[in-house]
Amino acid sequence: MTDNQLWPMRSVERDRDAVGNSKRRMPLLVAMVALVAVVASACAGNSSNDTNGATGTPVQGGTLDVGLTIDITSLNPYDGSGDTTSMILANLNAQLFKDYDHKVVPALAESLTRSADGKTATVTLRKGLKFSDGTPITPEDVVFSIEQAKAGSAYGSLYKEIITSEKASGEDKVDLTLVRPTPNLEALLSFPRAAIIPANFGGKSKSEYLQKPVGTGPYMFISRQPGVSIQLKKNPNYWDSGKPYIDTLDFQVFNNNNALTSAFQAKTVQAIPFAPEASIPSLTGANIVNTAAAATEMFFINGRTGPLSDVKVRQAISMAIDREAIVKGLRGPGDKPTATFVPASVLGSAHPAPVKGGDIEAAKQLLAASSYKDGATIKVIYPTGDDTLANTVQAMQAEVAKIGIKFDLQALDQGAWVNDVLGGKYELAYQNISANGTTADTTMQFFIASGAYGGGWSTDVAKSALTKYQTATDAAGQAAALDEFQNWLSAELPVIPTVWLRPSLVLKGSVAGYQGLDTVTQQALPFEGLWLNKS
């Protein structure tokens, strides 16, 4: 999911068939397609991480038809949630900085300088910047945008707790007053939640602006039919001169994987982000790009009452799960077994937690030492719409049954699942959590902001580790902060991580420019660097 997102709901108003026609149907909610990895087989086409995807001279023009199974939830860069939403917003908006080849580099900003005590930062903007409608970008726009980021419901506190004030200074500068020295400030200003938009929504109300937003990204918004399509066009005023290469991105929303697969085979779709694992073997003639592992699949645990309030029960469940066997039998080779909460893409030099599990005898001993030595029945909720996730939960149900734990599985639509989790109306809830950006700030922040997923867990260690992580002056300091957080997680088990997810991007042979995409997350997929070779 997204950024650390749990609730990308989709309101479907129409079905599309394989060639893009639509028909009326009843509105419904379809749960998120989890980030899944490529099934590497001959029939799946070519698996390409960094091969010849960027060879040749970029070609200008054309329309790229992109197939989705999840519609966007919002065009608000500060509150929109879901993998698809993040990807669309990443192409509509730009930030002061951006991630490039594992480094944070200037984007709309030309530079950032700090005062001697590190508590004031001055951002200098590039010359001649414009929004997609041609309006000049000013320091006042940056000030307004930071204010909006600080007001965001999920990640606002990430900015509020660091930036105490923002003030325009002259024609091209913004002064930021900080609570403390923040070495990774540039990274925080590169997150999608730090998008730069027009001050005062360009003179419109917020709701009016979000109907047709004006952005700073490589593409500009043209139209949207909810549940059917989103169309973006090249931004002629994009700050990175010469890009994007493709003129139009036409995102088509399909209500099931079979329809999407048929459209790809019929050549009405040329790209599939977050490709469903089950569909990949039938996508003949495709280039498969494994992008960065940006999500961790896990159980969220409500530890307030009942069996799960006993740490020995939690440990027994974790020990009984054979992560290696599940990944080998049910997942693609891009997925990896894990007991680590933080997604691999932002783990840095922190120590991955050792994968412990698949030891039934050890699990039985842990349960015998608990207050529920005779076993227990535990309700497990998981979102509908993803066969791979459902099969994974069912496999784990069979494993814990061997130690006397019965999983009562209940599949809920995404909206009901989210409401139950955030309301603490669950025992175990299975889903994945994604990284938002290039560092682990948002992963820890979301643990804090969600009240540890409605499970009643303390967030004190997370808050302490987040502060240490943000004030660390080197990778070793950041790793130590993450290790502190993850060691606490391993001891208390407020969550039980199971699988690292590495999603697949499927492209037709005509799509080029994908070299290096294995280092980026699909939530921030840079369509600006792709082009279409002419046949």
For the stretch 45-84, pLDDT in tens is 344 433 345 557 999 999 999 999 888 888 999 987 777 8
Asked whether residue 26 is assigned to any structural domain, the reply reads: no
Do 280 and 307 have their domain in common?
no
pLDDT value at 115 more than 90? yes
Residue 251: its pLDDT value, please?
Answer: 97
Mean pLDDT (the chain, rounded): 84
Asked whether residue 88 is assigned to any structural domain, the reply reads: yes
The CATH number for 153's domain is 3.90.76.10
pLDDT value at 259 more than 50? yes
Cβ contacts of 176-180, under 8 Å, gap ≥ 24: 176/120, 176/121, 176/122, 176/123, 176/146, 177/119, 177/120, 178/118, 178/119, 178/120, 178/121, 179/119, 180/118, 180/119, 180/471
**Dihedral over alpha carbons 62, 76, 341, 514 (to 10 degrees):** 10
Residue 339: its pLDDT value, please?
Answer: 78
Positive or negative CA dihedral for 386, 400, 430, 323? negative
Q: Angle at CA 223, nearest 5°, toward 217 and 224? A: 105
Other beta carbons less than 10 A from residue 241's beta carbon: 5
Do 255 and 116 have their domain in common?
no
Do 174 and 271 have their domain in common?
no
Tell me which residue of 331, 261, 241, 266 sits closest to 295, measured CA to CA: 331
Which band of pLDDT confidence, cut at 50, 70 and 90, is reported for residue 18? very low
Residue 395, classified by CB atoms within 10 Å of its CB into exposed (0-12), middle (13-18) or buried (19+), is: middle
Positive or negative CA dihedral for 62, 247, 97, 272? negative
User: What amino acid is encoded at 454 in this protein?
Assistant: G
Do 510 and 526 have their domain in common?
yes
pLDDT value at 528 more than 70? yes
For the stretch 386-443, pLDDT in tens is 778 899 999 999 999 999 999 999 999 877 888 888 888 999 999 887 766 667 887 8
Do 449 and 337 have their domain in common?
yes
Do 170 and 315 have their domain in common?
no
Tell me which of 42-46, 197-201, 290-294, 453-457 is least confident: 42-46
Residue 10: its pLDDT value, please?
Answer: 28
The CATH number for 87's domain is 3.40.190.10
pLDDT value at 1 more than 60? no
pLDDT value at 271 more than 90? yes
Under DSSP, the state recorded for 136 is B
Please tell me the total count of domains within the chain.
3
* Residue of 431 and 126 predicted with greater confidence: 126
**Dihedral over alpha carbons 246, 250, 255, 260 (to 10 degrees):** -40
Asked whether residue 496 is assigned to any structural domain, the reply reads: yes
- Whole-model pTM: value is 0.76
Distance CA 37, CA 246 (A): 26
Distance CA 370, CA 313 (A): 6
Separation of CA 168 from chain center: 32
Separation of CA 183 from chain center: 24
Asked whether residue 280 is assigned to any structural domain, the reply reads: yes
Do 183 and 285 have their domain in common?
no
Distance CA 91, CA 530 (A): 12
Rounded mean pLDDT of 225-231?
95
Domain carrying residue 226: 58-93+217-291+503-534
Distance CA 55, CA 52 (A): 5
pLDDT value at 219 more than 50? yes
Which band of pLDDT confidence, cut at 50, 70 and 90, is reported for residue 11? very low
Do 333 and 359 have their domain in common?
yes
Positive or negative CA dihedral for 18, 24, 26, 31? positive
Asked whether residue 9 is assigned to any structural domain, the reply reads: no
**Dihedral over alpha carbons 157, 159, 163, 165 (to 10 degrees):** -80
Distance CA 474, CA 76 (A): 33
Q: Tokens in use for 2?
A: 């997204």
Do 132 and 248 have their domain in common?
no
The CATH number for 347's domain is 3.10.105.10
Do 117 and 69 have their domain in common?
no
Q: How large a percentage of the chain has pLDDT more than 70?
A: 86
Rounded mean pLDDT of 257-268?
91
Do 133 and 224 have their domain in common?
no
State which of 156, 171, 202 marks the end of a domain: 202
Rounded mean pLDDT of 280-284?
81
Residue 363: its pLDDT value, please?
Answer: 97
Asked whether residue 180 is assigned to any structural domain, the reply reads: yes
Asked whether residue 254 is assigned to any structural domain, the reply reads: yes
Residue 374: its pLDDT value, please?
Answer: 95
Which band of pLDDT confidence, cut at 50, 70 and 90, is reported for residue 4? very low
Tell me which of 35-44, 335-344, 346-355, 423-432 is least confident: 35-44
Tell me which of 405-409, 450-454, 457-461, 511-515 is least confident: 450-454
pLDDT value at 230 more than 70? yes
Do 225 and 339 have their domain in common?
no
Asked whether residue 209 is assigned to any structural domain, the reply reads: no
Residue 107: its pLDDT value, please?
Answer: 97
Preceding omega of 244 cis (within 30 degrees of 0): yes
Residue 54: its pLDDT value, please?
Answer: 52
